A and B are shown apart, each in its own frame.
Chain A
């Protein structure tokens, strides 16, 4: 067990005050950051290369895959014989240059760290909700692709959540069409399908499969069946989400510490990312500094895993009692074939070690039949990687 110090967003309170106060929700940065998916590793902007049997785009447009997530945006591109991914927090801040007086833009992790008071997360619900956020998202995306040197002559495939949000899609389209990249071609496909592609093979095997995909997002739970690329029985609910887990953790921490510690949702999300595990969870300690000086150390034994455990129960309940009966009702043959195949879980919550096995066990028990659950090796970058494979095939087949 190891301790650490934290200042922002955490306070030690007298029990009476703790009972009266809800977990802190002040500050745009804090609230907005809660909206995002999470990674097992600390969220740092970075680049990673994975060796793959990549299709070369020599002499043609560059194949690019993009996933613009509520918290992180991921770009996948060909890099030699492999595919490299770049990840950045989907946020933006502006500041005035001290020398020139000009307004400057900073995005990603540096924006969140250096300008926490003014950083903006523009895709809180997964899509830009209004013109202002669409403009911010456009600025962010331009900066992001510029920094990564993405060529304009490119075939870009976007992985997009299939939530019913006409205005949001229109705004996102504004971002996409305003971008300098993708002059050769742009396409978009469901995020769940893109993320399932690397989970089901080295190529585009997933497109020929019949399977159920479930996206465990921070703002939505999405599910559908894919039948040889055809999307069926789309289902989405905001009742079972990663954000709800964060809220529950915050409440449970308050209970577990008898009201002495009140954490915000950002801290709760960090607890989840760093400690939640169905494989090897261990109680952990944290230390907070008291306003009057000194510090208080506390240990969390149950709060994190109780919340995650409940999440899995609710997830299985939604799948077994709402989504799957609906799928059986709509497409009985597909339902039967899909349950014989793998159920693919995607989204940030799948980063929790052992979560897939836990869902598999409980879903099998609830359905009273064996179900196989898989997750992509790299849940955070899977959607962009899958989108890039589609883009690469578009280039290879000269189909754009």
Chain B
């Protein structure tokens, strides 16, 4: 596609410029400024694309547990730390532990992986109170996304630590979709896995249509 009337290929930078500028002044927080305020994000800022959470591997290869260990890379450590921090913020330190145990019970991660993730509790401030019940469905979707991201990193890096529990992740380990054995694909979705030029060529895994 493309062309002057294609509503998909519009110029985001131009659009933002239109929203921020009135004549020769710049709009910010209800005021007009002669110079572009520094508080405004840059015009060409783009969203962080998290498509790498998509798993590789055939449907048959997808099996629980999805995550066998936290990858030893800087990216892996960062994701685990942010994951734990998010859980603590919403459900307290106790709730975060409960949540990780819950995810282990669902088969999202192994006991070893759960312990490794729990270790990151030391990296965030302790917060009393809270429980697993404080976490919403949206929080669990987020946790599943982080699990997926870590597992994908482990696959990509061939991280030895990811196999620390000795379960031996299968080559090209994949996952089954939580809550259903029939991962759905939607031909109408333009960014379906496998069609994204920025993402890896994947075999059709799509993120959870059901989460417990």
Contact = CB atoms under 8 A, between A and B. Distances in A.
Contacts of B34: none
B18 interface: yes
A147 B177 CA distance: 55
B136 A334 contact: no
Contacts of A367: 136-138
Contacts of B4: 173, 176-177, 186-188
Contact of B189 (A191, A230, A235, A399): A235
Contacts of A396: 22-23
Nearest to A371: B138
Interface stretch (A7-15, A76-84, A135-143, A155-163): A155-163
B84 to A, nearest CB: 15
Contact of A162 (B8, B18, B21, B53): B8
A355 B154 CA distance: 45
Interface string A128-171: 00000000000000000000000000000011111010100110
A325 B16 contact: no
Interface residues of A, number: 62
B10 interface: yes
Contacts of A235: 186, 188-189
A169 B16 contact: no
Interface in A195-244: 203-205, 207-208, 227-238
B18 A331 contact: no
A334 to B, nearest CB: 5
Interface stretch (B43-51, B57-65, B96-104): B43-51
Interface string A369-400: 10000000000000000000010011011010
Contacts of B16: 207-208, 228-229
Contacts of A189: 7, 10, 15
B77 interface: no
A336 interface: yes
B191 A188 contact: no
Contact of B1 (A166, A236, A397): A166
A330 interface: yes
A373 to B, nearest CB: 15
Contacts of A166: 1
A22 interface: no
Contact of B5 (A173, A237, A328, A334): A173
A168 B162 CA distance: 49
Interface string B1-43: 1011111101010111111111100010000000000000100
Contacts of A332: 48, 50, 142, 145-146
B78 interface: no
Contact of A326 (B10, B18, B189): B189
B99 to A, nearest CB: 14
Contacts of B3: 169-170, 173
Contact of A229 (B15, B27, B148): B15
Given A188-B4, A234-B191, A369-B136, A328 B18 contact: no
B47 A208 contact: no
Contacts of A177: 4
Given A326-B207, A367-B138, A186 B23 contact: no
B91 to A, nearest CB: 13
A164 B188 CA distance: 8
Contacts of B186: 235, 237, 322
A172 interface: yes
B127 interface: no
A325 B18 contact: no
B141 interface: yes
A176 to B, nearest CB: 5
A368 B212 CA distance: 12
A228 B46 CA distance: 9
Most buried by A among B47, B145, B148, B211: B47
A333 interface: yes
A230 B47 contact: yes
B48 A331 contact: yes
A96 to B, nearest CB: 34
A301 to B, nearest CB: 34
B88 interface: no
5 contacts: A159-B7, A169-B3, A321-B209, A325-B211, A334-B48
Given A169-B3, A172-B5, A204-B18, 19 more contacts: A159-B7, A162-B7, A176-B4, A177-B4, A189-B7, A204-B19, A207-B16, A207-B18, A208-B16, A230-B12, A235-B188, A236-B189, A326-B189, A329-B145, A329-B148, A329-B207, A339-B138, A367-B136, A390-B15
Interface of B: 1, 3-8, 10, 12, 14-23, 27, 41, 45-51, 53-54, 136-139, 141-142, 145-146, 148, 184, 186, 188-191, 206-211
**9 interchain residue pairs of minimum CB distance:** A207-B19, A368-B136, A329-B207, A369-B136, A160-B7, A204-B19, A188-B5, A229-B15, A368-B137
